[in-house]
Amino acid sequence: MADKPRYYVTTAIAYPNGPPHIGHAYEAIATDAIARFMRLDGYDVLFLTGTDEHGIKMLQTATKEKLSPQQLVERNVPLFMKMVERLNCSNDDFIRTTEERHHRASIGIWQRMEAAGDIYVGKYSGWYSVRDEAYYDEDETRLNEQSERVGPQGTPVEWVEEESYFFRLSAYQQKLLDLYERHPDFVLPKERLNEVSAFVKGGLQDLSISRTTFDWGVKVPGNAKHVMYVWVDALTNYITAVGYPDVDSAQFRRYWPADLHVIGKDIVRFHAVYWPAFLMSAGIEVPRRVFSHGFLFNRGEKMSKSVGNVVDPFALADAFGVDQMRYFFLREVPFGQDGNYSLEAIVNRINADLANDLGNLAQRSLTMIARQLDGVLPKPGAFSDADKALLAMADSMIVKAREAMRTQQLHQVLNAVWAVVAEANRYFAGEAPWALAKSDPGRQGTVLYVTAEAIRQVGILAQPFMPTAAAKLLDLLAVPLAERQFAMLGQGRRIAAGTALPAPSPVFPRYVESEGSA
């Protein structure tokens, strides 16, 4: 297996100035599903997530809570670590930008950009919005009803004048456009690339990349008065984790450039414009793809503390189960688009798709094997047309799944899988194995075998999405641990007949309304 292809996938690093929310959970879940899918499909995967701990907003939040930034970080970051653990994410590393390795990497890339002549000292003065972490031209600001000056987003701005290092972003306009031209899939979904491309075509200004007004960040090499702009620092995490600045390390050579950065649509520009420009400047290969997912809305409303509809991912996991929660978000929301969720939608989905369609199909077929066939998976007779049709559909799942996964269409993978679940239910009802018990036991055995085989393939493909439940399902079918890879899917791969199966028990409980849930 030494020549497994590699696959490096990342989430954006989360900004821990508060506890994790559902958006963080969503990104982690989706990226984990991708990572697990690729592993099962034979890739040597490196899956990275982490936290972006510097910047003035951290400092301000800390101050407000009478903490040092370090204390704030030590309080909040563990919550993010617990979240990915709770969500059953299989990340290989968890990077924190306060780590020494990350400071080294940030300094490294800075020095390379500087050596390339792309960094110069200038002076920056302007209206700065702390909340947006952005400067605005005077004419972009206005006075609100309280006569406070605010930026385009309505956030307060203050006049700031500071010496600043600048990155020669303007020099990269054509190179970036060339990149988009050569790799039309560099940003997905496609609409996002169009937006980015339009932005770049509109002209790029040099980017202020250091601050002197606070010191919670990575110090600029050779000038400790400055800390790096938080985005230089943050983006660099992706190469820190593979050993940068040691570009000759086995890790770096093996995993860089990253195959996929999964991010939220609000930070597309940083990943699709600034990041590749920084990398080009430093002489580092650019990542292969940036995928921008959408936002999650609670009953059509953006989550916000003031509306009081903030949902804690831990509470959601407690209420419905981690696998169920993962399934819901990945099935219900077309990946890349915004999504809506509500209690009813979650309950409907997990009861209909999981408990009723898949769980109950497994339960009814397996209890029949347990009770009527002594718990031994029957040996099939000759396959009828109906048998062949269901098997062919099951065999085709992996093909469709890979096709969908090529562009991260996670919901399409699940659609393909659940189409087989639905067909298997139709098949089961049509063949009525309960009636065959007396009339034609041989035929009953064949029907149960074919059903079990369909469930086996469904179970294997469900693993990236619902690791625990899928494993349990495969346990019930006595599928050996070593035979749960995608290589075991498709034509010619069949469940072993004659195997003794464990006593069946329901895999997906039905959700029944209790009192206080999420």
Partner RNA sequence: GGCGGGGUAGCUCAGCUGGUCAGAGCGGCGGAAUCAUAAUCCGUAGGUCGCCGGUUCGAUCCCGGCCCCCGCUACCA
Q: How many CA atoms lie within 13 A of 439 on its CB side?
A: 7
Q: Closest separation between CB of residue 435 and RNA, Å?
A: 7
Query: CB-wise, 127 or 216, nearer to RNA?
Result: 127
Nearer to RNA, 429 or 481 (CB): 429
Nearest distance from C-beta of residue 202 to RNA, angstroms: 5
Provide the token pair at 501. 């199966």
**Burial of 343 (C-beta count, 10 Å sphere; 0-12/13-18/19+):** middle
Nearest Cα residue to 460 out of 482, 480, 489: 489
**Least gap, CB of 403 to RNA (angstroms):** 14
By C-beta, is 262 or 421 nearer to RNA?
A: 421
Q: Show Cβ contacts of residue 213 under 8 Å, excluding neighbours closer than 6 positions.
A: 56, 160, 162
Distance CA 296, CA 339 (A): 5
Shortest distance, CB of residue 505 to RNA, whole angstroms?
Answer: 8
Q: How far is the CB of 244 from RNA (least distance, A)?
A: 29
Nearer to RNA, 76 or 197 (CB): 197
Which residues make up the interface to RNA (CB under 7 A)? 139-142, 152, 191, 194-195, 198-199, 202, 266, 269, 334, 337, 340, 348, 352, 355-357, 359-360, 362-365, 367-368, 422, 425-426, 428-430, 432-435, 506-510
Nearer to RNA, 35 or 272 (CB): 272
User: Contact 15/263 with Cβ under 8 angstroms?
Assistant: no
Cβ closer to RNA: 181 or 266?
A: 266
Do the beta carbons of residue 436 and residue 381 sit within 8 Å?
no
Taking the CB of residue 485, how many other CB atoms lie within 10 A of it?
14
85 or 191: CB nearest RNA: 191
Q: How far is the CB of 108 from RNA (least distance, A)?
A: 29
Residue listed under structure tokens 């968890």: 94
Candidates 444, 449, 420; CA nearest to 434 is: 444
State which residue, 246 or 357, has the beta carbon closest to RNA: 357
Contact 79, 53 (CB under 8 A): no
Cα–Cα dist 191/208, whole Å: 28
Burial tier of 509 (Cβ tally within 10 Å: 0-12, 13-18, 19+): middle
Q: Which is nearer to RNA, 346 or 405 (CB)?
A: 346
* Residue 480: CB minimum distance to RNA, A: 22
Closest separation in Å from C-beta 438 to RNA: 11
C-alpha distances in angstroms, 343 versus 4, 40, 325, 330, 409?
A: 42, 32, 11, 16, 24
* Smallest distance, RNA to C-beta of residue 290, A: 15
Mark residue 252 as left, alpha or beta (left: phi above 0; alpha: psi -120 to 50; beta: remaining). alpha
Decide: 45 and 93 in contact? Cβ < 8 Å.
no
